[in-house]
Structure 1
Amino acid sequence: MAKLQMSLKARALKYLSAREHSRLELGRKLARYAQEGDDVEALLDSLEAAKFLSQSRFSESLVNRRAARFGNSRILSELQSHGIDGEALQDIKGSLLDDEAARAKEVWRKKFGHLPEDAADRAKQMRFLQQRGFSSAAIRSAMKPADDDA
């Protein structure tokens, strides 16, 4: 017995029911299943008009998922790769700046939880935070109590 083909709209709603998607990401996923005569852009427009697809909800969701583990530059880079830019990106950047140092401190505490023993250990800890996308100022702020105790 032949398996029923899922329509593009049904597939899009299935993806959106699992988690928020950006317009670019959902378009890429649906393009794989589009057949001749299917208009993916028109479908995305109708999903946005019906408020099933929202860039602001997607941005908020991604920031909430990533903020506890990653720094501003990594989060902003990921948002840009999903097609979020312009004023929306600036608003998110402004809101993330407020607590980056505290987030860096928490990530450092979870990973290491101890003062660096020597310069090599300190460099290793700082590199870890840098690879997570934290700014130099946030890293210095997170490592500052370690500097005072040393």
Structure 2
Amino acid sequence: MLHKPLSDESSIRVAAIRFLARREYSYHELYERLKPRVQSYALLESVLLSLQEQDLISDQRFCESYVRSKVNSGQGPLKIKQALFHKGVAEVIICSVLADYSERWYDNAFRVWCKRFDHPGETPEDQARQIRFLQSRGFEFEHIQAALKQGRQQVSEE
């Protein structure tokens, strides 16, 4: 479906608010979504800055929502941080939001490990496969080590 070009402030604002009504967007993400449809990039920036001043666009709120969603789906801090960089969120915002979850990474890594594996790797190849899996989910090595250790303890208690 082809969209009608957005040529004035009002039409750009309406289009931006329609996006924001569905979910939070970062400033950069919304800019990139609307850029192909506008005739004036300066006007687009002006409208988005106005929405940001009115707190309708908030990179902080977007980041909190995004991190919460990704933590609940079993992703680790490295993968989340990288995705947020690509969405144009400032590093200071990313780091502050991720810091709120610092105690959850260990439990999250173990939870993700338990969903995929029922016992720690018995051979070095099995262990390497489990480590690669958790790395691909974005966990740091210390989280991975803790998850594997907890898995070994769980198996030895059974």
Q: Give structure 1 stretches of 5+ with no counterpart.
A: none
RMSD of aligned alpha carbons? 2.1
Other-structure match for 1:91: 96
Residue number among 52, 62, 65 corresponding to 1:61 in the alignment: 65
Cα offset, 1:14, TM superposition: 1.1
Distance 1:75 1:137 in 2: 17
Cα offset, 1:118, TM superposition: 2.5
**Residue 33 of structure 1 pairs with residue 32 of structure 2:** no
**Residue 52 of structure 1 pairs with residue 85 of structure 2:** no
Other-structure match for 2:85: 80
Deviations 1:43-71 (A, max 9, x none): 10111122211111100111011113211
Q: TM-score, normalised by structure 2?
A: 0.83
Distance 1:76 1:85 in 2: 10
AA matched with 1:103: N
Report the 3-state secondary structure (helix = DSSP H, G, I; strand = E; otherwise coil) of the residue aligned with 1:53. Answer: coil
Contact 1:31 1:40 in 2 (8 A): yes
Other-structure match for 1:110: 115
**Structure 1 vs Structure 2: percent identity of aligned residues?**
30
Shift in CA distance, 36/140, structure 1 to aligned 2, threshold 3 Å:
closer
Other-structure match for 2:126: 121
Q: Give structure 2 stretches of 5+ with no counterpart.
A: none
Report the 3-state secondary structure (helix = DSSP H, G, I; strand = E; otherwise coil) of the residue aligned with 1:32. Answer: helix
**Residue 137 of structure 1 pairs with residue 142 of structure 2:** yes
Count how many residue pairs are aligned between Structure 1 and Structure 2: 148
Deviations 1:49-98 (A, max 9, x none): 22211111100111011113211111111122222224322312322322
Report the 3-state secondary structure (helix = DSSP H, G, I; strand = E; otherwise coil) of the residue aligned with 2:39. Answer: coil
**Structure (1/2) with the larger helix percentage:** 2
Contact 2:67 2:98 in 1 (8 A): no
